[in-house]
């Protein structure tokens, strides 16, 4: 059976893999899959904040489809690193977290996305 979107799926899969590998470097002391869970948690909290919303632990567990005990362990790790904070409204990203991300890392991530976009625009569908 032929997959008409094979090339598209491959480009997206490669981009996702490279983004997660790049993000894992910030949590290199964790095994890769735990690092991925942490990245997903941080990005969910960050995205909600930018939309003017917050997550409670329960709400985040439901949103991510992550078992609550796993989420609580990952949040404890993030709180111990000072990356996530809790207040009366819910979970928040510590803005100082972004000071550790270099301009070079942001440029590299941007370049990965642009390259994937260029490759996707060349794919015939």
pLDDT of residue 73: 97
| Contact yes or no for 116/15 (Cβ under 8 A) | yes
pLDDT of residue 98: 81
pLDDT digits 0-9 by tens, 19-47? 999 989 889 999 999 999 999 999 999 99
Asked if residue 49 has pLDDT above 80, the reply is: yes
Task: Please report which confidence band the pLDDT of residue 107 belongs to, taking 50, 70 and 90 as the band edges.
Answer: very high
23-122: CATH architecture: Orthogonal Bundle (1.10)
pLDDT of residue 7: 93
pLDDT of residue 100: 74
pLDDT of residue 117: 96
Q: What global pTM score does this model have? A: 0.87
For the chain, what are the domain ranges? 23-122
Q: Which residues pair with 15 in a beta bridge?
A: none
pLDDT of residue 3: 83
Residues 6+ apart with CB under 8 A from 55: 44, 45, 48, 63, 90, 91
pLDDT digits 0-9 by tens, 61-96? 999 999 999 999 999 999 999 999 999 999 999 988
């Amino acid at each position: 059976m032929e997959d008409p979107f094979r090339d598209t799926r491959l480009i997206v899969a490669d981009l996702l893999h490279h983004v997660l590998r790049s993000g894992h470097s910030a949590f290199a002391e964790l095994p890769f899959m735990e690092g991925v869970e942490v990245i997903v948690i941080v990005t969910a909290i960050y995205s909600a904040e930018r939309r003017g919303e917050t997550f409670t632990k329960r709400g985040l567990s439901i949103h991510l489809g992550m078992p609550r005990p796993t989420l609580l362990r990952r949040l404890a790790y993030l709180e111990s690193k000072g990356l996530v904070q809790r207040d009366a409204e819910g979970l928040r990203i510590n803005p100082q977290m972004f000071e550790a991300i270099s301009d070079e890392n942001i440029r590299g991530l941007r370049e990965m996305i642009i390259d994937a976009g260029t490759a996707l625009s060349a794919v015939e569908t």
